[in-house]
Amino acid sequence: MAALTDDESRSDMARKSPVKRGQIGFFFLDFLMIILLVVNLAWIVFDWLFEYEMLRGYLYGIAPDFTEMYAASIHPRFILIDLMFVSVFLAEFFIRWAMAVYQRIYHRWFFFPFLHFYDLLGCIPVGGFRFLRLLRIISITYRLQKNGIIDLSDTAVVRFIRKYHGILIEELSDRVTINILTDIQREVQTGGPVVDRIVNEVVMPQRESLVEWMSHRIEKVANDNYDGYREDIREYVQERINTAVDENDEFARLELIPVFGSMVRSTVEKAIADMVFSVINGIMQDLASSRNRVLINEAADVLFDAILLKEEDTELNRLVVDTMDRSLEIVKQQVRVQQWKLRDLAEDEDHFRDLLREELMKADVDADAAKDADADTDTDPDADADAPADATVADDTVTRRDSDDRTDTPSKKS
């Protein structure tokens, strides 16, 4: 089952939520207001077009009586009739304001007109203010959609608006994010206080957790990896001790002891190798043991302090600045990627894949039907038997006609 989008899930929740009995009247009022607003805006556009002589002439040719009646009775009283609509719109506005105050929908009683300013401006019967009534239609439609009275989430208009609204928001947010990241890069490169604030306000409060994490990682590495390299370490220790013994003159003199010289040297060399490896093995086992957690924590704490030690290290500062600058640049490159284009490509690819799948299924069905038709033709003995019989009958008919023609020809001559 495909995952629902946020808008679709909100629509489903709205449809499932029960409508209170007291709200039915307001929903009926919303539908009535939408009808009045649509009629009013359509009439305003028609009256505006009626000013042009070409349209009046065209209407006169179609409906002369209506054109004369409209020009004589309605068009001159445009302002008066529009004020009638405005009075209905204002009455509805004040009713909703009173209900908002009664139900304490907003924090203060005067918030309603500020939030619905377009309703008031649309009631001004002057020029372009009238077309703000379109916003009133949109707000009422949104309210009905939100309460689950209507569902326009799958319509082409809503999908179009949702798509390009998302594109606009994404493009604006990407530009803002890139500007913020560029400012941070500039502060890091010029030695601003951002790095110090990150250390003091982010890293240092998490000191204990970071030290605990470091000690746990040291313990885990020692515990998981030491057993696999134990023999390699033993061989390495033995090799290094053999090299040291060969280079040491004191051990060379041990071979001068008669009879037992070589044996003494080998014994001493092996004993030293075993002791060194035993020390290393004990250290690694201590690191892997949870009983020495205090010692490991202290070592990790010292390491943490060494990392954050504030000393004049130009090379280290340069590395830190370059690392942060490069990281921010990668983030900016990712932000610049237009995700809406990727989503469109993915949708087009899915659509193309569905069409291709349908065409392949249709081709398979046609191929199966053709095979069935061929099989029926091959297995129909009556059709094969009828074909030669028909051919024989046709040949007999032609033969009889030829014989009749030869019989008739002498009689005509005679």
Q: How confident is the model at residue 13 (pLDDT cuts 50, 70, 90)?
A: very low
Specify burial of residue 133 (Cβ count, 10 A radius: 0-12, 13-18, 19+). buried
> What residues have CB less than 8 Å from 365, skipping those under 6 apart?
none
Mean pLDDT of all residues in 313-336 = 77
Mean pLDDT of all residues in 236-246 = 78
Kindly tell me if the per-residue pLDDT of 412 is higher than 50.
no
Per-residue model confidence as pLDDT tens digits over 79-106: 999 999 999 999 999 999 998 899 888 8
Specify burial of residue 54 (Cβ count, 10 A radius: 0-12, 13-18, 19+). exposed
Kindly tell me if the per-residue pLDDT of 181 is higher than 80.
yes
Per-residue model confidence as pLDDT tens digits over 34-55: 999 999 999 999 999 998 989 8
> What residues have CB less than 8 Å from 49, skipping those under 6 apart?
55
* Per-range mean pLDDT, top range of 78-82, 156-160, 175-179, 303-307: 78-82
Mean pLDDT of all residues in 305-331 = 70
Range in 167-181, 310-324, 377-391 the model is least confident about: 377-391
What are the CA-CA distances from residue 134 to residues 80, 128, 139 (Å)?
A: 20, 11, 9
Kindly tell me if the per-residue pLDDT of 410 is higher than 80.
no
Per-residue model confidence as pLDDT tens digits over 325-351: 888 888 888 888 878 777 777 777 777
> What residues have CB less than 8 Å from 193, skipping those under 6 apart?
187
pTM: 0.48
Q: How confident is the model at residue 69 (pLDDT cuts 50, 70, 90)?
A: very high
- What's residue 87's pLDDT? 94
Contact criterion met (CB below 8 Å) for 150 and 30: no
Considering the chain, what is the average pLDDT of its residues?
A: 76
Considering only residues 314 and 365, tell me which one the structure prediction assigns the higher pLDDT.
365
Kindly tell me if the per-residue pLDDT of 202 is higher than 90.
no
Considering only residues 43 and 407, tell me which one the structure prediction assigns the higher pLDDT.
43
- What's residue 311's pLDDT? 52
- Would you give the distance in Å from CA 360 to the centre of its chain? 30
Kindly tell me if the per-residue pLDDT of 108 is higher than 80.
yes
- What's residue 389's pLDDT? 47
- What's residue 40's pLDDT? 94
- What's residue 387's pLDDT? 46
Range in 108-112, 158-162, 288-292, 335-339 the model is least confident about: 288-292
Longest dimension (CA), the chain: 159
Per-residue model confidence as pLDDT tens digits over 250-288: 766 666 666 666 777 777 777 877 888 787 777 776 665
Question: What share of the chain has pLDDT > 70, as a percent?
Answer: 69
Mean pLDDT of all residues in 358-387 = 68
d(Cα 370, Cα 364) in Å, to the nearest integer? 10
- Name the nearest CA neighbour of 92 among 140, 44, 41, 40: 140
- What's residue 14's pLDDT? 44
